[in-house]
Copies of this chain bind each other. A is one copy, B any other.
Amino acid sequence: MQARDVLISEVGPRDGLQNIATIMPTPAKTQWIRALAASGLQEIEIGSFVHPKLLPQMADAEEVARQALQIPELDVLALVPNLKGAERALAVGVRKISIPVSASQSHNMANVRMSCEQSIAAIADICAYRDEQAKNGVRATVEVGIASAFGCSREGIVPEDWVMEMAERLARAGADSIGLSDSVGAANPVQVRRMFGRLRHLLGNRAGGAHLHNTRGQGLANAVAAIEAGVTTLDSSQAGLGGCPYAPGATGNIVTEDLVYLLESMGLDTGIDLGALMQARALLAQALSGENLYGHLADAGVNRGFRYANPGRTRQCPPPGAHQDSCQSLAETCGLASDKDRA
């Protein structure tokens, strides 16, 4: 694996596709995932091993996982809501599973029909299953993201001490990493820095990544705050797909394209090629015609003077003078095309 400063974990094929009306056909999903991986994304959450009746968009999780597992060097991550889901994921060959639990009792109840305590116990069972499997040579990793860690649309303020207590209990339950999710876009940079600082102090290198939503436009400011607090894994979603079913009108996850641009412009290496990432977006736009896609970079393109952190991936922008009167075609000449151009 190439050294990079920040690992961007693409959650679009799971968090994105499960929150829209369109059911993307399996071949389109795998084509999209291949294009995402080709752009340099190291980790992709490819789907959810939830009951197909609950989320028909995720009914093909096995097949999508099988295809994704054939992509060389890609870390294939899948969400599992329970032990049954973990068994399905490991059976197909997935070796990295993420489990959702909410720090808000009522959100957790609505989401997985368990109290927080029941969820922690269920996660302990999944970790025990992981340990059993390890004896057979099947080594899997269990990641937990604490949802509503920064606030809840049902309960309002979620006490930070309770979030930290949950994180500690989840670590004792055996989770390999415990991250924090701003499921409803309630976080602010001060809080993000404080919470991830506490998490790292509490859990050391079992402190996990940040899953941030852009509900109130503050997603990238929170991402920068997370980086400053030492977070090295950030979830994001191509075209900002995803969202919170309990926050209508809210846009979804932070946008992978915009995040990559921001981090690279700050001199941080993401290992991702923006031009190739935009090609993946074009595939998504084709497959999801009619769905809203988000993100600024798709319209604006990169700015002149933009440089990749890793010079090997520097894309040539047009020479001085090529756009004396307008940078209208800058996106295209930099290898970035807007959705309009692709449509």
A interface, CB within 8 angstroms of B: 106, 151-158, 184-186, 188-191, 214-218, 220-221, 223-225, 246-251, 255, 258, 261-262, 265-267, 295-297, 299-306, 317, 320, 323-328, 330-331, 338
Nearest opposing residue in chain B for A264, CB measure: B188
Given contacts A262-B217, A303-B184, A303-B186, contact A156 B317 (CB under 8 A): yes
Asked if B153 contacts A216 (CB within 8 A), the reply is no
Taken together as a complex, chains A and B put the C-alpha atoms of A113 and B5 apart, in Å, by 44
- The one of B189, B225, B262, B325 that contacts A188, using a Cβ cutoff of 8 Å: B262
28 sampled A-B residue pairs with Cβ under 8 A = A106-B324, A151-B305, A152-B304, A154-B324, A155-B304, A155-B320, A156-B304, A186-B303, A189-B224, A189-B266, A191-B266, A214-B296, A215-B300, A215-B303, A216-B302, A217-B258, A217-B262, A217-B295, A218-B262, A220-B220, A221-B221, A221-B223, A224-B225, A246-B327, A247-B300, A249-B301, A250-B299, A251-B299
Asked if B328 contacts A216 (CB within 8 A), the reply is no
Nearest opposing residue in chain B for A327, CB measure: B153
Asked if A246 contacts B326 (CB within 8 A), the reply is yes
Instruction: Specify which chain B residues have a CB less than 8 angstroms from the CB of A214 in the assembled complex.
Output: 296
Instruction: Specify which chain B residues have a CB less than 8 angstroms from the CB of A323 in the assembled complex.
Output: 153-154
Instruction: Specify which chain B residues have a CB less than 8 angstroms from the CB of A250 in the assembled complex.
Output: 296, 299-300
Asked if A305 contacts B157 (CB within 8 A), the reply is yes
Taken together as a complex, chains A and B put the C-alpha atoms of A341 and B74 apart, in Å, by 45
Taken together as a complex, chains A and B put the C-alpha atoms of A132 and B130 apart, in Å, by 80
Nearest opposing residue in chain B for A218, CB measure: B262
Shortest distance from the beta carbon of A274 to any chain B beta carbon, whole Å:
11
Taken together as a complex, chains A and B put the C-alpha atoms of A333 and B157 apart, in Å, by 17
Instruction: Specify which chain B residues have a CB less than 8 angstroms from the CB of A320 in the assembled complex.
Output: 154-156
Nearest opposing residue in chain B for A225, CB measure: B224
Taken together as a complex, chains A and B put the C-alpha atoms of A288 and B217 apart, in Å, by 23
Instruction: Specify which chain B residues have a CB less than 8 angstroms from the CB of A251 in the assembled complex.
Output: 296, 299
Taken together as a complex, chains A and B put the C-alpha atoms of A221 and B216 apart, in Å, by 13
Asked if A261 contacts B216 (CB within 8 A), the reply is yes
Given contacts A106-B324, A221-B221, A327-B246, contact A216 B152 (CB under 8 A): no
Asked if B217 contacts A296 (CB within 8 A), the reply is yes
Which 3 residue pairs spanning A and B have beta carbons closest together?
A156-B305, A249-B299, A217-B296
Taken together as a complex, chains A and B put the C-alpha atoms of A255 and B296 apart, in Å, by 14
- The one of B157, B191, B297 that contacts A216, using a Cβ cutoff of 8 Å: B297
Shortest distance from the beta carbon of A134 to any chain B beta carbon, whole Å:
41
| Extra inter-chain contacts (20) besides given A155-B320, A189-B224, A220-B221, CB under 8 Å | A152-B305, A153-B323, A153-B330, A156-B320, A157-B304, A158-B305, A184-B303, A190-B266, A190-B267, A216-B297, A217-B255, A217-B295, A221-B262, A224-B224, A224-B225, A246-B327, A249-B301, A250-B296, A250-B299, A251-B299
Asked if A300 contacts B185 (CB within 8 A), the reply is yes
- The one of B151, B191, B305 that contacts A186, using a Cβ cutoff of 8 Å: B305
Instruction: Specify which chain B residues have a CB less than 8 angstroms from the CB of A326 in the assembled complex.
Output: 246, 248
Most chain B CB neighbours (cut-off 10 Å) among A152, A214, A221, A295: A221
